Amino acid sequence: MEDLDHEYKNYWETTMFFQNQELEFDSWPMEEAFSGSGESSSPDGAATSPASSKNVVSERNRRQKLNQRLFALRSVVPNISKLDKASVIKDSIDYMQELIDQEKTLEAEIRELESRSTLLENPMDYSTRVQHYPIEVLEMKVTWMGEKTVVVCITCSKKRETMVQLCKVLESLNLNILTTNFSSFTSRLSTTLFLQVTLSLSPSLISLFGNVITSTNYKILNASREYCTCLVLV
Amino acid sequence: MEDLDHEYKNYWETTMFFQNQELEFDSWPMEEAFSGSGESSSPDGAATSPASSKNVVSERNRRQKLNQRLFALRSVVPNISKLDKASVIKDSIDYMQELIDQEKTLEAEIRELESRSTLLENPMDYSTRVQHYPIEVLEMKVTWMGEKTVVVCITCSKKRETMVQLCKVLESLNLNILTTNFSSFTSRLSTTLFLQVTLSLSPSLISLFGNVITSTNYKILNASREYCTCLVLV
DNA sequence: GATTACACGTGAGCC
DNA sequence: TGGCTCACGTGTAAT
C-alpha cells in the first residue's frame, strides 16, 4: 500500500496533476482518474474490509477536490508568500481584505467625484449650477415689442459669476439674442436683452423666468404671450 | 485513543472552539489549547512509539491551524452556500473574482469620471475649458480713454457658449466692468466692454489678451500701458 | 443502509 | 538531525 502511494506523493508543491484553473468543475468525473494507484476494490488485496474500500476511494476524491480548490485559490491570489496550504489561505484572506478595502476606497472616490462633477458636468443645467452662486434677482421686466422682438430687463445683485450665470441661462434657452447689455454700478448688475422670438421660442422665455425665479423664490406676476411684465418681489 | 477523540469531533460545522476572526495570529500558542484531550505524551498510553507522539500533537496543531484559517476565510466571505471545506474555498474564489471584476469596473468608472470632470472642475480655468468651445477671435481692439477707463472691442464668431466663455474670462480677470454689450448679427458676436482699471489691473488686462490670443494663435501687435491697440490677425 | 464530510494517527519526504 | 508539511486510510457522526 505504501509503495504505490509514493508515486503521487508531494504533488501539492510541485506538479499538481490537474492544471485546470477554471473553477467551474462541480461534477467530478474523476473516480480513478489519477496515475495508476490501487484500482477499484481492495487496494491492499487483503486485511481490508470491502466496505471500507469504497470509503477509501471516496476519501481520495474528497481530498483531491479540496486540493484542487486550494490550488485554484492559489491561482487567483497574486502574491503568495509561501506555498503552504495554511499560508495560501492566509494570503487569500489578506488579499480579499485588501480588495474589500480598496473597493470601499474606490466607491468613496466615485461618490466624491460624482458629487463634484454633477455640479459641473452639464454646463447647460442652470438649476444645479446656480446652487453655488445663485442669482439674486431684484427686478425683472419683460416687454413684447412689435412683431418678434422682446426686451428683457433684469436687475440683480452683483456677485461672483453672476454674469456667467446669466449667460449660461440665456444660451441654454436657445434664445435668439440680438444684443445684450450688462451694466454694473455699486453692487447691482443691470441686464438688458433684445431678443428675437418666434412662436416656438415663447416656452423658452417662460422657462427663463421660471429658472431665474424659482431659484430665488420670486414669482411671475404676469406672463401672457402678448405682453409679459414680470415684477419680481421678495 | 478513539474514545477521547469524540469530544472534539465535528467542531468544523458547529462550535469551532476558537472564535477569533482577527486573521493576524501567526504565532500559535496552542499546544494543547483545546478541551482536555490526550495530554502531552502517549495519548493512548500503550502501543505507540514515543517518537510518533510528538508527530501526533504537531499534526493536530497543523490541522487546527488550517481549520482556523479556513474558518477565518469563511468569516470574510459574505455568502457561503455550503459549509463544506471545499465549498467554502469555492465560494471564496467566486467572491474574490467578483471583487476583482468590480474593482476593474470601478477603476474604469473613476477614469471615466475623472477625464470628464478635469475639463470642467475648475470653472475659472479658461485654457482647459476653451478646448471644448474655443473662442475664435476675429478682431480685438483695446483703447485707453482718459484716466482709468478702457474700452475693449472684441469680435468673434458666434458659437455655442461663446458668450459664456467670454464672461468667464472677464470675470476671472477681476476686471471692473462698468458696462458690457454683446451684439450678434449673422454669425458674429460683437462685444464692447467699458472697464475701470487701476494700475494693478493692467496685468490682468494683458492677461486677457494673452488668454484670448494664445488660444487662437493670434498675437498682440501693440500693448503699451498708455495706449493699447491690439489688432489681431490670423 | 448508503453517502458525505470530517478528524485522526501514521509514515514519508523535504529542508 | 528534528521540525515542518503532506497524503493516506480509517473510524465515526450526521444526513
Please check whether residues A177 and A143 belong to one and the same domain.
yes
| B200 and B148 in a common domain | yes
**Is B190 a domain residue?**
yes
Q: In whole angstroms, how far apart are CA A148 and each of A1, A208, A226, B189?
A: 104, 17, 10, 20
Confidence of residue B118 (pLDDT cuts 50, 70, 90): low
Place of cell 475648475: B122
What is the distance in angstroms measured between the alpha-carbon CA of A115 and the sugar C1' of C2?
Answer: 61
Q: Which residues of A44-66 are buried (b: 16+ CB within 10 A; e: fewer)?
A: eeeeeeeeebeebbeebbeebbb
Please check whether residues A112 and A158 belong to one and the same domain. no
pLDDT digits 0-9 by tens, A64-90: 889 988 989 888 998 888 888 889 999
Strand C at less than 7 A from CB of B11:
yes
| Angle between helices B85-117 and A85-117 in degrees, nearest 10 | 30
Q: Which domain holds residue B183?
A: 137-232
Statement: the CB of A6 is under 7 Å from strand C: yes
Could you tell me if residue A165 is inside a domain? yes
- Measured from the CB, is B12 under 7 Å from any atom of strand C? yes
The CATH code of the domain that includes B88 is: 4.10.280
Helix residue ranges per DSSP H, B118-221: 126-129, 162-172, 202-214
A14 within some domain: no
State yes or no: pLDDT of B181 exceeds 80: yes
Nucleotide nearest to B37 (CA to C1'): C8
CATH number at residue B175: 3.30.70
Q: Does B212 lie in the same domain as B142?
A: yes
Nucleotides of D under 7 A from a protein CB: 3-14
Question: Minimal CA–CA distance to B196: which of B147, B139, B135, B140?
Answer: B147
Considering only the beta carbons, identify the residue of A73, A166, A184 that sits closest to B177.
A184
Is the domain of B142 the same as that of B115?
no
For residue A163, the model assigns a pLDDT of 81
- Domain finish residue from A119, A153, A187: A119
Say how many domains are in chain B: 2
| Residue found under cell 489688432 | B231
- Identify the pLDDT of residue A79: 82
Is B151 among the domain residues?
Answer: yes
Asked if the structure places residue A110 within a domain, the reply is: yes
Look at residue A196 and tell me if it is in a domain: yes
> Which pLDDT belongs to residue A135?
66
- pLDDT, residue B94, reads 92
Report pLDDT digits (tens) over A112-162: 777 765 554 444 443 444 444 566 777 777 666 666 677 777 888 887 777
- Given B72, B89, B119, the domain boundary residue is B119
B174 domain-assigned: yes
Look at residue A7 and tell me if it is in a domain.
Answer: no
The whole model's pTM is what?
A: 0.47
Is the pLDDT at B44 greater than 80, yes or no? no
**Does one domain contain both B109 and B189?**
no
**Greater confidence, A44 or A59?**
A59
Nearest CA in chain A to B64: A86
Nine-digit cell string for A84 = 503552504
The candidate with the shortest Cα–Cα distance to B133, out of B110, B109, B167, is B167
Predicted local confidence at residue B199, as pLDDT: 54
pLDDT at B192 over 70: yes
Question: Sorting pLDDT into bands at 50, 70 and 90, what band is A95?
Answer: very high
Q: What is the structure's pLDDT at B224?
A: 37
